[in-house]
Amino acid sequence: MKFLRHGSWKYPINNVQSSLQGGLEVVTHVKSSHKEQTCLYDGVELEALPYIQTLKNFPKEELFAKVVMVRFDSNILLGEKLDWSSRSASKALYTIKYLHKSGAKVILVSSWKRKKNSELLTAEAVADILSSVLQHKVVALRCISCDMPVKREDLQKADIFLLENLSDYKEEVSNCSKFAELLSSEVDIFVNDSFSQSHKVLASTVGVARFCFASMAGFLFEESLHQLKKTAKTNKKPYIAIIGGGNLNNKAAAIEFLASRCDALVFVGLMSFQIMHALGHSVPTNLLERKAHKTALDIVQFAHEKHVLISYPEDFWCVNQHLPKQMGVFRAHGVLDGWLPVDLGPKSLDEINSLVTNSKRVIWIGPVKFKSYSPYTGGTSKLAQMLYKQSQCDCEVTIVGKMAHEIAKNESGSLSSFNMLENASAVWEFLKGQKLPGVVALDRAYPFEIDWNVAYCDPSRPLVVDIGSGNGLFIMGMARKRKDLNFLGLEINGKLVRRCLDSVHQSGITNGYFIETNATSTFRSIVSSYPGELVLASIQCPNPDFNKPEHRWRMLQRSLIEAVADLLASKGKVFLQSDVEEVAMRMKELFLKYGKGKLCLSHDHHNVKPNGNTWLEENPYGIRSDWEQHVLDRGAPISFVEKLGVIVAMIDSFLESLTHFPHNQTLERKTMENNEQKNHAIMIPYPFQGHVIPFVHLAMKLASKGFTITFVNTESIHHQITKSHSTTSPTSDVDDDIFAEARKSGLDIRYSIVSDGFPLGFDRSLNHDQFFEGVLHVMSAHIDELVANIFKQSPPPTCLIADTFYVWSSMISNKYNLVNVSFWTEPALVFTLYYHIDLLKANGHFACIENRDDIIDYIPGVRAIEPKDMMSYLQASDISTVVHRIIFKAFEDVKKADFIICNTVEELEHETISALQEKQPTYAIGPIFPTGFTKSVVATSLWSEFDCTQWLDTKPHGSVLYVSFGSYAHVSKNEIAEVAYGLLLSGKQNKWDKVAEKIHRVIGGKSNDDDELRKNIKEVKRELENALSTVGSSVVRRCLDSVHQSGITNGYFIETNATSTFRSIVSTFQLPRRIGSCFDS
């Protein structure tokens, strides 16, 4: 190996020949090229790699029900030598699976070779390949060839889709705007996971970003970008760059960049001949690059100035041009005519090994490739072996390029020891100091961690954020006025921010701060890290171009509005201001459109009155913004400013109106004067008795508070209610509307019916698994259609209050920008146990076959509970049932709700509710039965009380021990057998054949085949014998006799194992019924 050595590198320069042109210029030549690029290398931050938004840091809940386009890397997912164990393949697959699991509709796009292993790769064929590797169905969509945009209805067929091969369209390479718009039709979010194409300007990597409200890097893209940034770091020394390949002229700036970072440049490819020539060595002219001599001299001079070692091969394996099988090793300066270098020689490899052995960081970029090649020498393989060996010795090795990647994998057996960047073109562009178009097109993220304790004396105070704070007049004025709040200005102009920070420091303000950033893309990441609440966000006179008012609202992108809506406290406000009415109108419309239903116009502004056109006549805070002051300073008459107005839209969060219910309130309908948008809640209970009743009570409570309510029952539930009610009140109007009587009292409650996906004749109790599957997969489509129709009414809906067990609530809420309220109709204790299934799993208390005696004391807000006292679904060992799948999906979806309301009393479950509050806004709203109404006003019972009492009256006193009105809750055969056994022991009237027939009807058996049931009963009998000997039927009968003899009318006993039957028995108590005339009422 030959070296140009400097400083601590101890070898002298050998064989510099002055006879070669330019050879002696190496010491005296003054570098004049690439000056502009190298000034970037000495900077603190590389502009070529801005901090971008990533899928990993994007809120997962914001992906649900969104349409996400993924630009995937076909070289990785469709490559001929696909290695699913590699990090790149794993990351690429994880991006798609992560989006699918988050509830997004995924559209995949890419370009690929038309054939693979001689097979034609159509979109359908690729979809099948992807379906296989993803383990999810991928459906091919043909819309580009038809010049037809994707439609929402097309996306109902599946969850993952593939568009056609982009290689077939020239518009992809030309970054055609219309083509990009066609690709991104119906797309909400763009995810680029094809880093290998980031150096190109393509419609699918750059063009589509402008048509999506959020653009970010996938997991593979982020990982590749992270690896690329490592090449610029100098924290580990010595740092060696092994450089292969050719085309020195095109890569000169990149090599100088490496020279500015590394301690040695080791040339191993065609470029090495150009470097040898620059150093005065004799090199065959056919191995030199045309017009590259001056460039090589510049590189040598630059390395000399930076004290960087240059290394080039000392010997080569060469092949005889006339006798291809004849090979030999020649010194670098002694290659004979008629021989061509094909690989590195043994001495060259030894010298590289000596350099690499002492290094702490190595980058290998470009192949060890010459104009000829021999498969017998193995120089590249030996280089890969030494790098692998060094990677095991605390040396960070980065390998760039597809060829090097494949060789490294073959030699090491694994790529886990290396940092891998398979596409060398993108890396070369970065090393040149060029911006990568595919990176620049993505949204920016705030790169730094903020120490809020340095920014404010008390970072727990409520926060006010001014977006586009300009000269900071509003922030500093408000900070002086309100010492109880902290104020933050976000401004893209760095000079203004530095000036504002100086002013804050000089004036001694301790509750004001400014950050230089583009708030459009960084607002969420900055404000979400603040310890306190966001109580006010303001945007005042946005003005990218003062002379073109139509541009002033462009900063209001959907991603910013959604971030504000998500982070705003429950009583927070948004303050919008502009001197141009069209701009203010646009801002207001966008906030109402994309505020996810959490925002509405406010009309209570502390004695500041609207001017009659929904605008305030003056600034309600009394502190002028920069532009507001500019309007006054430019000499306009005060009357003109007052007439034009500094137009302000004030938007409030209205969560409070849903979370505080008065316990005593009359039923007079509340008018909502001066309210532009009345609250309208869609309420959808789960189709069971115990869920419908609390939903009805809540609907009446909200309606008495002034809400418009649309109450939705399933067709089957409505049919059951009307059927049972018609027996009691034949003249009632309940057949059409169960709220008819309530509406006569002035409540605005509308009634709708929706299909659950099954005909009325379908027996839901006998086929409960099939029914639950329908609720899980089919019902959402009917709800979607219903909500769309409700939006045609006035006022339009503002929130969705759905039962927690529904798995689609967040999807519907996001699609229609509704506040997502999850209503849990049971105690908060039950909710929190389901909510913390992950903790139960981690501690071995979920689906545990063996009985556990230890106490569960790790659930937040639950002091202690025994495993046996948990709900049966948490104890069952078989968690593959459809009910379990509903529970898992529902309690994943509930974490995306804007807030949760529980049908419980705060005083009874304060600790549980408080613990849940720390995770998610959660409120106890009980008791919710509206005073002043009787139960008969709204029909809710699914069974006729008259039929039940009439039947009971025909039975002998004390002969009926237990009446079940039916339930869709899953009851096992053993539990049914246990009840049957209790009935047998009672010795009362029923003969076994009749009991068996009825029980078999419940559990789906055949009435004439009771062998299995008898077998179950025998098993249960053996298990219960010991217990029955002490607390068996004789004890129960003795207690019942005592009750009867003493004339007690409010006491009763049932023989049963309460561990498994408590819920089914007690949950029926709220239904109107009599049990053997034992209770007076």
**Tell me, what amino acid is at 510?**
T
Q: What is the pLDDT of residue 667?
A: 27
pLDDT band, residue 19 (cuts 50/70/90): very low
Residue 157 lies in a domain: yes
pLDDT band, residue 621 (cuts 50/70/90): confident
Asked if the model's pLDDT at residue 668 lies above 50, the reply is no
Asked if the model's pLDDT at residue 810 lies above 80, the reply is yes
Which candidate, 98, 103, 101, places its Cα nearest to that of 62?
A: 103
**Three-state secondary-structure class, residue 286:** helix
Q: What is the pLDDT of residue 955?
A: 77
Residues 699 and 775 in one domain: yes
Residue 55 lies in a domain: no
pLDDT tens profile 978-999: 666 666 666 554 444 444 444 4
The secondary structure of residue 618, as a DSSP letter, is: S
Show Cβ contacts of residue 203 under 8 Å, excluding neighbours closer than 6 positions. Answer: 166, 171, 172, 174, 175, 176, 179, 180, 183
Residue 103 lies in a domain: yes
Percent of the chain topping pLDDT 90: 30
Q: What is the pLDDT of residue 407?
A: 72
Of 936, 971, 994, which marks where a domain is finished?
936
Percent of the chain topping pLDDT 70: 74
**CATH code of residue 200:** 3.40.50.1260
Residues 125 and 162 in one domain: yes
**CATH code of residue 616:** 3.40.50.150
Q: What is the pLDDT of residue 118?
A: 64
Low-confidence winner among 66-70, 98-102, 107-111, 920-924 (lowest mean pLDDT)? 920-924
Residue 432 lies in a domain: no
Show Cβ contacts of residue 477 under 8 Å, excluding neighbours closer than 6 positions. Answer: 623, 624
Which candidate, 275, 277, 279, places its Cα nearest to that of 267?
A: 275
Task: State the number of CA atoms in the 13 A half-sphere of 783 facing the CB.
Answer: 31
Residues 1002 and 1055 in one domain: yes
Show Cβ contacts of residue 955 under 8 Å, excluding neighbours closer than 6 positions. Answer: 989, 1076
Residue 660 lies in a domain: no
Average confidence (pLDDT) over 13-20: 30
Residues 363 and 510 in one domain: no
Highest mean pLDDT of the ranges 9-23, 415-429, 772-786: 772-786
Residues 223 and 238 in one domain: no
Residues 584 and 643 in one domain: yes
Low-confidence winner among 152-166, 499-513, 916-930 (lowest mean pLDDT)? 916-930
Residues 816 and 876 in one domain: yes
Residue 667 lies in a domain: no
In angstroms, the CA 123 to CA 142 distance is: 8
Which candidate, 785, 762, 743, places its Cα nearest to that of 687?
A: 762
Which candidate, 936, 916, 934, places its Cα nearest to that of 924?
A: 916
Q: What is the pLDDT of residue 40?
A: 34
Asked if the model's pLDDT at residue 803 lies above 90, the reply is yes
pLDDT band, residue 614 (cuts 50/70/90): low
**Tell me, what amino acid is at 1069?**
F
Low-confidence winner among 109-118, 434-443, 596-605, 965-974 (lowest mean pLDDT)? 965-974
In angstroms, the CA 589 to CA 576 distance is: 11
**CATH code of residue 713:** 3.40.50.2000
Alpha carbon distances (Å) from 941 to 91, 936, 1073: 53, 10, 10
Residues 95 and 111 in one domain: yes
Average confidence (pLDDT) over 412-439: 81
pLDDT tens profile 708-737: 999 999 998 888 888 776 655 544 444 578
Mean pLDDT across the chain? 78
Q: What is the pLDDT of residue 416?
A: 63
In angstroms, the CA 877 to CA 174 distance is: 58
**Structural domain that includes position 8:** 2-33+232-413
- The residue that leads in pLDDT, 338 or 723, is 338
Do residues 372 and 343 make contact, with C-beta atoms less than 8 angstroms apart? no
In angstroms, the CA 902 to CA 830 distance is: 10
Q: What is the pLDDT of residue 329?
A: 93
Residues 620 and 765 in one domain: no
pLDDT tens profile 317-330: 999 988 888 999 99
pLDDT tens profile 528-557: 889 999 999 998 877 544 444 444 445 578
Helices (H), 894-972: 910-919, 945-953
In angstroms, the CA 35 to CA 185 distance is: 44
Asked if the model's pLDDT at residue 864 lies above 60, the reply is yes
Q: What is the pLDDT of residue 814?
A: 86
Asked if the model's pLDDT at residue 912 lies above 50, the reply is yes
pLDDT band, residue 665 (cuts 50/70/90): very low
Asked if the model's pLDDT at residue 693 lies above 80, the reply is yes
Average confidence (pLDDT) over 29-46: 35
- The residue that leads in pLDDT, 50 or 709, is 709
Ranges assigned E (strand) in 979-1030: none
Q: What is the pLDDT of residue 566?
A: 84
Of 920, 936, 952, which marks where a domain is finished?
936
In angstroms, the CA 140 to CA 415 distance is: 33
Asked if the model's pLDDT at residue 178 lies above 70, the reply is yes
Asked if the model's pLDDT at residue 201 lies above 80, the reply is yes
Asked if the model's pLDDT at residue 662 lies above 50, the reply is no
Peptide bond into 795 cis (omega under 30): yes
Count the domains in the chain.
5
Asked if the model's pLDDT at residue 1008 lies above 60, the reply is no
Q: What is the pLDDT of residue 854?
A: 82
Q: What is the pLDDT of residue 836?
A: 93
The secondary structure of residue 616, as a DSSP letter, is: B
**Phi then psi dihedrals of residue 679, to 5 deg:** -70, 130
Residues 236 and 131 in one domain: no
- The residue that leads in pLDDT, 1017 or 498, is 498
Residue 836 lies in a domain: yes
Residues 616 and 538 in one domain: yes
Residues 461 and 375 in one domain: no
Residue 769 lies in a domain: yes
Which candidate, 319, 366, 388, 377, places its Cα nearest to that of 344?
A: 377
In angstroms, the CA 509 to CA 457 distance is: 10
Alpha carbon distances (Å) from 701 to 677, 930, 994: 20, 6, 45
Q: What is the pLDDT of residue 1068?
A: 65
pLDDT band, residue 69 (cuts 50/70/90): very high
Asked if the model's pLDDT at residue 137 lies above 90, the reply is yes
Of 227, 242, 274, which marks where a domain is finished?
227
Which candidate, 144, 6, 126, places its Cα nearest to that of 77?
A: 126
The secondary structure of residue 271, as a DSSP letter, is: H
